[in-house]
Chains A and B, each alone.
Chain A
């Protein structure tokens, strides 16, 4: 169950930001942190596989209201070596 830390940079427009936030809140794999200045949103994702994690990050990049996705950390410690 890989865990990743991301930061989403939200759009300047309040409408599209609200849209993005409601979309994000619907996904049980995503935990939202408190946005910094309303614009930079810390996010933790928990997925079944690293591949799913990557797909999720990719889909967030496409999400309306999200202008940029930064991957801060991917925890590999629970991966089988």
Chain B
């Protein structure tokens, strides 16, 4: 079973290779993947197109079926360029989950986007520069958080937003997220690291950029909840997961970051830890995109040992039992499942977890995409589409009893707040309120 899954995922089913003993990424000369076998599995049911939030609102976007299997067939001819509509795919990865034939759609999109940026995009164009900046958010966040107040002041200035839009094509409709006065890692160092030592229960926290620079309260909640369950938390050195880079076709950037992450996470796994992420796009990257795109030592090991934070507790602890004693102070949440949680089978976990908690009322606001998709909704030319995709979610949030939103994804949270004005929390923060004194 594992063998055939691997074949389907990598599209190498037609090659006479031992599925248990090869690394899909490096069997093709020149290192390029041949995903045509995957496109042969497509029987044109259009489930992917139906599930694509961008195709729903953007008439000029031909949809995942074209971007994936069709484009892979077309590009067998050497003179066929990648269609520039590939830059409109927001990398929500819903098509993967929709495809009944396990066509590796998002992998095809990622490869095509990388090739497009590499070979066809003008490196001096405004769009390239803008996408490079957006996807390297971590680089700028690291600088900004040295002087968070100044950074917040500057990014909040109308002139900054005006310049962002005019010069770079970053929408002025959105407010830049605030930088925390103290990053998660600063807090962690100051605290002296882990408060619990336990060689038998260890987790390595992949906090990602956002909970480090912008919402350290999520990272702190993660630490406190896990320590409450007796875990020793490691915080290995790490860079960006690469999600915004995949979405913008900046694969060499993503690879560089992935090398650091995999190396450090493999070391942590060697120390007996499983990897935990609080951002579902980070866990998605470590679990699915890394092994699909990069041939790195230990990359499969990392994928096998990575979990989303709440998921891990549900698997390994009696979370239900602990919560049956707990209480929340009449909190009502309007919960949105991020696309990258949905694709990991985690769309319902928060609803299930809080359903039985005394005083908590949690409502799923439906299966629509929030529309921001990381950097997609930050692009001036995509902003309106982004809000149109999110409209259904905003309506459902307004209709829900809760006035507090909940989600695992930082950019979904941004969009939820932007569309409704609600305060947004992470399930870990609610767990912290319920379980930690």
Q: Note whether A and B form a binding pair.
A: no
